Chain A
Amino acid sequence: MRVQASKKSAHPVLIFWLIAGWAGFVLLPWYGIEDGFFQFEWLLEGYPFEQDYAPAAFLIANGEKLWLAPLIVPLIAPLAILGRPKTDHLYAVTLVLAGGFGFAYLIAQGFGIGLRGYTFAWLSTLLGDLGDRQFGMGYGALLVASAFLFLFTQGIAAKGAVNGDVFVVGAIGGVVVIVTTFVFFPIAKMLTAAFITEDGGYSVAVFLSKFFDDRLWGLGCFGDGRCGAAWNSLFLAILVGIITTALGLVFALVVTRSGFRYKRALRALTVLPIITPPFVIGLALILLFGLSGSVTVFVADQFGIQPTRWLYGLPGILIAQTLAFTPIAFLVLIGVVEGVSPSMEEAAQTLRANKWQTFRTVSLPLMRPGLANAFLLGFIESMADFGNPLVLGGNFDVLSTEIFFAIVGAQYDQGRAAVLAIVLLFFTLSAFYAQRAWLGKKSYTTVSGKGDSGVHPMMPRRLSVPVLSMAAIWGTFTAVVYGMIIYGSFVELWGVRNTLTMKHYVTAFSVRLTESGIRWTGAAWDSFWTTIQIAAAAAPLTAIVGLVTAYLLTRQSFAGKDSFEFGTMLSFAIPGTVIGVSYILAFNVPPIEITGTGIILVVSFIFRNMPVGVRAGIASMSQIDKSLDESSLTLGANSWQTFRKIILPLLRPAILAALVYSFVRAMTAISAVIFLVSAEYDMATSYIIGRVENNDYGLAIAYSTTLIIVMLAAVGMMQILVGRTEIGRRMTQSRTNV
Chain B
Amino acid sequence: MKSIKAMICTSALAMAASVGAAHADKLTFYCSAQEDWCQLMARSFEDATGIDVNMTRKSSGETFAQVKAEASNPKGDVWWGGTGDPHLQAAEEGLTEEYMSPMREQLHAWAISQAESAGNRTIGIYSGALGYGYNTELLASNNLPEPSCWNDLLKPEFKGHVQMANPNSSGTAYTTLASMVQLFGEDEGFEFMKGLHANINQYTKSGSAPIKAAGRGENTIGIVFMHDAVKQAVSGFPVKVVAPCEGTGYEIGSMSIIAGARNMDEAKKFYDWALTPEAQNLALQVNAFQVPSNVNAQTSDKAPDMSTIKLIDYDFAKYGSSDERKRLLKKWDDEVSTLPQ
Contacts and interface: CB of A to CB of B under 8 A. Distances in A.
A291 interface: yes
Interface string A267-298: 00000000000000000001000111000000
Interface in A573-616: 584, 588-589, 593, 595-596
Contacts, number: 142
Contacts of B56: 677-679, 682
B236 A496 contact: yes
A114 B72 CA distance: 10
A517 interface: no
B12 A593 contact: no
Contact of A695 (B58, B65, B203, B212): B212
B289 interface: no
A47 B69 contact: no
B21 A690 contact: no
Contacts of A695: 212, 215-216, 232, 235
A694 B35 contact: yes
Interface residues of A, number: 58
Interface in B1-25: 1-2, 5, 8-9, 12-13, 15-16, 19, 21-23
A588 B55 CA distance: 19
B338 A291 contact: no
Contacts of B235: 493, 695
> Which DSSP category, helix, strand, loop or mixed, fits chain B's interface?
mixed
Size class of the contact patch on chain B: 35 or more
Nearest to B59: A408
Given A286-B218, A291-B217, A678-B56, A309 B160 contact: yes
A466 interface: no
B174 A410 contact: yes
Contacts of B13: 47
Contact of B16 (A45, A407, A584): A45
A693 B206 contact: yes
The listed residue with most A CB atoms (<10 A of its CB), out of B28, B39, B65, is: B65
Given A410-B169, A412-B64, A694-B35, A395 B59 contact: no
A724 interface: no
B62 A408 contact: yes
B218 A291 contact: yes
> Which DSSP category, helix, strand, loop or mixed, fits chain A's interface?
loop
Contacts of B208: 693
Given A679-B28, A679-B56, A410 B218 contact: no
Nearest to A214: B338
A690 to B, nearest CB: 5
B309 interface: no
Nearest to B24: A41
Given A19-B1, A44-B19, A292-B218, A588 B35 contact: no
B168 interface: yes
The listed residue with most B CB atoms (<10 A of its CB), out of A43, A414, A693, A695, is: A695
The listed residue with most B CB atoms (<10 A of its CB), out of A493, A523, A678, is: A678
Interface in B196-251: 201-203, 205-206, 208-209, 212, 215-219, 232, 235-238
10 contacts: A27-B5, A45-B16, A225-B338, A291-B138, A395-B203, A493-B235, A593-B73, A693-B209, A695-B215, A695-B216
Interface of A: 19, 23, 27, 34, 43-48, 114-116, 135, 220, 223-225, 286, 290-292, 309, 312, 394-395, 401, 405, 407-412, 414, 493-497, 523, 584, 588-589, 593, 595-596, 677-680, 682, 690-691, 693-695, 697
